[in-house]
Structure 1
């Protein structure tokens, strides 16, 4: 029987991966004696790379088998699909309120066929961007269920070494969720691009800069969406009464916005179930009214399916047609929420709700408005409310206000998600993450960000006062994020998916051309409000840059000044040094050794507990780390003199910390597991080497008496180690927190001093401290201060 081409592809891919891993190990750890070389294949399955530091020598262990996530049940998918209608599509669903009026911003339609040209562009834009690009392509680039700009960046960081902090470890690749599947064998092109990215420092900085820019723009969306949606809906009341002034509309909008942000603490789960029925009714009404208007006024607008009307529109209007693209692009506002909010739901649930409800309703709504305008050109400034039958005006007004409120929810939820990701990857200051649903992962609320967003929304609404200028700002934020997403996606297609080059070229030519055309149009209105999202982005990126830059400087300082093994032994053997019963947990960010703050501590307090664990909390560029793979231990040599362990606790950027089980209890239990496995494997390997046999051959050892003695010695060693840890734990646990003050070093320039002494320290003073993040009990916590001169 012939092997299928897919099997050949998979086999070639695995061979390439194995060769690549060995080469990377030799590059990363050239000084280590890889005892695995020459061992049989089965031994390699039991390997655990020693990348915590060379001082631990060779370390044995086993790797947990990967366990792919099972598909969610259909009942759960349908529940989430229903919820997603209320959370994800409010923004794009309320775009019919203002698209036609924003496109013909001067209120004049020069030629009746211009309506067909605009409708044709709306139809093809909705089809290409939200449907084809996001629903069927971009959603595939989720990071274990999570989306957004940082999810794309994390995928690239996992595949290529483009991270700027040297905390990568060989063991990280053994985490189940870390592994990347590749569907085909286009390896040469992928390896070439990967090599270029890894060798270029400027490319690494550019990727991080682009990620921060995309994140800032999405947060800008979270500010502008509530403003334009609520103002548009509330402004509809002018159709019913002329007594409603602009000031009254603005203040009513402000009250609604404040109430909306106050509701966020209830969580996405409760808010989603409250909002979903309203948005479902909204889509049913706009779709139904659109179909009614289509039949009643002008069924011939179906001709807009012919893209020839787009060309004619540009021929007639030239520059004005190009400028009007800034209004048409508002038809796809909120599309980024499809991807940013996927962590709150699932990919199938988003796809189902978009294809079955949102897309058809929007197409009918815009087609109906176009049919109405063909007969009533003069009503273009108030297309939405003018095209509603009189008997449905008030129900639709109420629904429009409610839908506008809900529209804001889409980008607010997306903002919380991407800030959580950027926080975990060291690109945002510490803030409190509240997980609002025990039932569904990824649903979060951030109190500090919620209040800042509320203040920003109120400020924009009071400052701009109308939807035209906000719309100009909104378009820039929307198209910038989409263009950045496409850029990252092309990298992922080449490096990770290894997509055929013809498909990549087609994607860039079609989707890329459309997005760049829209971007050029919205940038034209920069001075008419378009500067606002760029101003937001500048402030947010400044905060991100300050935090990330000093975070990296601190890490390199600790790496350069870490304590050597010889120094540690010297300290322990010092006659003036006192050892007391108990267990000390010392927290630091360094994963490659013992941090310099430890030396500072023992020089001032010459006493230490009998068991010491150096804990480093590390965020991997993946969304979730399975609990059984979270703790990575090493014991510091020499083991007969020291009860010193180093532990890296690995979290994904959506993992919940310390809410289900006390961190301390989990740490001790995992330490005991490590001791049991470590001693057993160590003794077993020594026995095998003494007999001159491989690991596999040991099972064939005929000297049963010697094997039994070795077994007893192994278990005695395990018991001794476990008893030492148990005794120390019973004597009491103290948590030592390293509180590092950072200052610019001598001779530093003015820019560096402003960055470190003022900007970073200002952020640090006004934000959450470490013990609050890790849930450390205050009665058993000791802070150790040290100043780093960077």
Structure 2
């Protein structure tokens, strides 16, 4: 091959590979992201009251509404506009919130002025922070705007959780009810006794829908632990077959019952519906909005897949097939208004297709809930990163796609709530009313936040932002009012769920803020620690002491309280702070900020670990080793680093996640390696990093301690640097201790009821969290918890 053509060949092969991956991912998306949209025909017309569907004209008008709602909201708003507002590949309500936090400075994360000086090292939004505008200044100036935007983000997250509870119950119960009606029709067809028909129909109605729905729901939630990728491969073929089946049946119904139904997509019919609006017609819109159920999940599930694959799957497959399905069902309904249960999808199936429909509808209904469940997992993870949700364990199910997660505690809670809804309501109309309210509220929040994104992040004209808000907001407010008319018929359940979840989120945020404020007010200066050592007669014991604190400047109050009563701390002291910043991911090269407290002789360091709301923040097993390596890198580059950031208290240097070819400390597993005697250094008793070691036979199941050694070029280091690194190695060999502050919030006497209630909820959730504050697999024997009472 001509060498000049080789780069083009490699480029073409890479391009083909990317397209193959995109097509493969688009196939997975059909079963994960678009399951809810694909199964919406099971209950859109089915949740409408039969007495409200009085003539074929209103069926035509409703079909026109469904077509334009799918086109305007799902296709135009989400596919062409909202998906472009991703936050570095992440979507959802908190992705929009994080963009606003970075570009309009409306974030309410725990921070102070000195924290900003430390945390915002090399953190700038790409070319978006340069421009200043009147709207940006107004929003940044008024604190009430900050709280309102945070409330909207939490409100939208609560709606996603509500959808994850209600949608599985609605879709599965709708399919089970369709099965019951199909079986009843079959019994009537083959039985000649009217009494037998009635008794069998009653038995089927009693024993088929709810028990079968509950069994399917349990199976669905049990499958979540396998992860999005495996579930996508399992579910995608079923949803694809389901879509093809209902679209083919839709085409059949169009030509068999009413071929002119295609002309009814004209907006004229939608305007006729509005011109003759009354209470009965208005409440029908609460069912129409269900046709776009799952559109919000397109954006929320963006972290699981790519933007291109989501767009291709919807435009080329989902959208046209759904239009054919709804058109066929409307054509059947317009000519069968006097048939029993004519508004259910199962009734529009030809008699020779009903057995196939029973099987596919049960399978597809279970899969249809997958989009809201995965979206719920993503939203809760983002809330956790921003301290707006009780700590729960997060399991990452993919090594390559970090957005694919599974949260066991949330999964089982969703299952219990869905089963409660199914057993409690037993009526798809009531569940549909609550689901419609959740869907439209989530969409309205996205519309409001997107209008701010257009103005503040995309920096478009304020008129364009207002047009987006008015155009989509007007349509969604109309649907919202229709859903509120059904508040007493099932939608009240969503209100209860909203109050509970919003209370938990607000209390977590409020408690975290108050605890952080207390820590800021009661922290002591680094000068105090340095000056207290000789005054209190503090002794230094061998080993490393890790102090986990939320403050990034000064000494936390709980540690000063500890050394005042027990005047001793370790030979090496490391203050570790985890700080979430409003970005999805922090690059490994920008994750650690390392600084020194006091003179070199004191061996006191500060490490700030920065992570985004989608990062694997604290659950890595080798976290302690990464901290020690980072401090080693800091020691080796401290004098030569010219881009260090200096705060009023200490110097901080940005250190990436060290690799095996570190210039300071090289890790090795004492169980995996044994050093040859000739290679051992006389000074450190550990040989430099080289090839002079061999693999030893060890027991594979026993986790060994990772040790460190100096690199092969250690003799060329400065003497002071080499000595400090050796002291760090010696301290590591002596063992580690971990100090955690346990702050107990207590409300002052005379505080108002709201404050007392929020703190009470916060203390309850904090006490019953399933994960510790620092999930680092800390051994209990080395853990020291220092309790303090925080009076607020």
- Using the size of structure 2 for normalisation, the TM-score is 0.83
SS at match of 1:530: helix
Structure 2, gaps ≥5 residues long:
1-14, 185-200, 647-714
Distance in 2 separating the partners of 1:312 and 1:117: 7
CA positional deviation for 1:308:
0.9
Q: Identify the residue that residue 42 of structure 1 maps to in structure 2.
A: none
Equivalent residue runs for 1:442-453 within 5 Å: 442-453=403-414
Are residue 582 (structure 1) and residue 525 (structure 2) matched? no
CA positional deviation for 1:607:
0.9
Q: Identify the residue that residue 606 of structure 1 maps to in structure 2.
A: 567
Are residue 493 (structure 1) and residue 454 (structure 2) matched? yes
Equivalent residue runs for 1:535-550 within 5 Å: 535-550=496-511
Q: Identify the residue that residue 147 of structure 2 maps to in structure 1.
A: 205
CA positional deviation for 1:750:
4.9
Q: Identify the residue that residue 693 of structure 1 maps to in structure 2.
A: none
Change in 2 beyond 3 A, CA 1:623/1:636 = same
- Using the size of structure 1 for normalisation, the TM-score is 0.83
CA positional deviation for 1:527:
1.0
**Is the contact between residue 542 and residue 571 of structure 2 (CA under 8 Å) also seen in structure 1?**
yes
CA positional deviation for 1:376:
1.8
Are residue 421 (structure 1) and residue 366 (structure 2) matched? no
Distance in 2 separating the partners of 1:784 and 1:83: 49
Which of these residues, 391, 398, 402, is aligned with residue 437 of structure 1?
Answer: 398
CA positional deviation for 1:581:
2.1
Distance in 2 separating the partners of 1:172 and 1:733: 27
**Is the contact between residue 739 and residue 786 of structure 2 (CA under 8 Å) also seen in structure 1?**
yes
Equivalent residue runs for 1:64-103 within 5 Å: 73-103=18-48
Equivalent residue runs for 1:273-672 within 5 Å: 273-379=233-339, 381-574=342-535, 576-637=537-598, 639-657=599-617, 662-672=622-632
**Is the contact between residue 619 and residue 776 of structure 2 (CA under 8 Å) also seen in structure 1?**
no
RMSD over aligned Cα atoms: 2.5
Which of these residues, 755, 758, 761, is aligned with residue 759 of structure 1?
Answer: 761
Q: Identify the residue that residue 57 of structure 1 maps to in structure 2.
A: none
Are residue 232 (structure 1) and residue 174 (structure 2) matched? yes
CA positional deviation for 1:742:
2.1
**Is the contact between residue 441 and residue 480 of structure 2 (CA under 8 Å) also seen in structure 1?**
yes
Bigger Cα displacement from structure 2, 428-437 vs 167-176:
167-176
SS at match of 1:551: helix
**Is the contact between residue 621 and residue 652 of structure 1 (CA under 8 Å) also seen in structure 2?**
yes
Distance in 1 separating the partners of 2:516 and 2:565: 23
Structure 1, gaps ≥5 residues long:
1-69, 687-711
**Is the contact between residue 563 and residue 593 of structure 1 (CA under 8 Å) also seen in structure 2?**
yes
**Is the contact between residue 680 and residue 714 of structure 1 (CA under 8 Å) also seen in structure 2?**
no
CA positional deviation for 1:123:
0.7
The structure in which a higher percent of residues are helix is 1
CA positional deviation for 1:442:
0.7
Equivalent residue runs for 1:92-241 within 5 Å: 92-103=37-48, 105-107=49-51, 109-164=53-108, 165-166=110-111, 169-170=116-117, 172-174=119-121, 179-182=125-128, 187-188=131-132, 191-237=133-179, 238-241=181-184
Distance in 2 separating the partners of 1:302 and 1:759: 55
Distance in 1 separating the partners of 2:45 and 2:749: 60
Change in 2 beyond 3 A, CA 1:203/1:389 = same
CA positional deviation for 1:244:
0.7
Q: 1:214-264 CA distances to partner (integer Å, 9 max, x unpaired)? A: 111110000000111011001112222224124531122112112211221
Distance in 1 separating the partners of 2:274 and 2:752: 54
**Is the contact between residue 536 and residue 567 of structure 2 (CA under 8 Å) also seen in structure 1?**
no
**Is the contact between residue 658 and residue 775 of structure 1 (CA under 8 Å) also seen in structure 2?**
no
SS at match of 1:594: coil
Are residue 720 (structure 1) and residue 701 (structure 2) matched? no
Q: Which has the higher contact order (CA 8 A, sep 6+)?
A: 1
Distance in 2 separating the partners of 1:263 and 1:270: 10
Distance in 2 separating the partners of 1:359 and 1:72: 26
Q: Identify the residue that residue 671 of structure 2 maps to in structure 1.
A: none
Q: Identify the residue that residue 250 of structure 1 maps to in structure 2.
A: 210
SS at match of 1:287: helix
**Is the contact between residue 683 and residue 714 of structure 1 (CA under 8 Å) also seen in structure 2?**
no
Distance in 2 separating the partners of 1:298 and 1:321: 23
Q: Identify the residue that residue 741 of structure 2 maps to in structure 1.
A: 738
Structure 1 stretches (4+) deviating beyond 6 angstroms? 682-686
Distance in 1 separating the partners of 2:570 and 2:785: 16
Distance in 2 separating the partners of 1:368 and 1:580: 79
Change in 2 beyond 3 A, CA 1:574/1:383 = same
Change in 2 beyond 3 A, CA 1:734/1:327 = same
Change in 2 beyond 3 A, CA 1:752/1:120 = closer
Change in 2 beyond 3 A, CA 1:640/1:436 = closer
SS at match of 2:573: strand
Distance in 2 separating the partners of 1:409 and 1:655: 23
SS at match of 1:73: helix
Q: How many pairs align?
A: 688
**Is the contact between residue 739 and residue 785 of structure 2 (CA under 8 Å) also seen in structure 1?**
yes
Change in 2 beyond 3 A, CA 1:93/1:100 = same
**Is the contact between residue 679 and residue 718 of structure 1 (CA under 8 Å) also seen in structure 2?**
no
Q: 1:595-644 CA distances to partner (integer Å, 9 max, x unpaired)? A: 1111011012211112111000111111111122111111113x244221
CA positional deviation for 1:571:
1.7
**Is the contact between residue 738 and residue 785 of structure 1 (CA under 8 Å) also seen in structure 2?**
yes
Distance in 2 separating the partners of 1:232 and 1:175: 53
CA positional deviation for 1:301:
1.3
Bigger Cα displacement from structure 2, 581-590 vs 412-421:
581-590
Distance in 1 separating the partners of 2:733 and 2:405: 37
**Is the contact between residue 587 and residue 616 of structure 1 (CA under 8 Å) also seen in structure 2?**
yes
Which of these residues, 247, 260, 263, is aligned with residue 220 of structure 2?
Answer: 260
Distance in 2 separating the partners of 1:481 and 1:754: 27
Bigger Cα displacement from structure 2, 717-726 vs 443-452:
717-726
Bigger Cα displacement from structure 2, 769-778 vs 603-612:
769-778
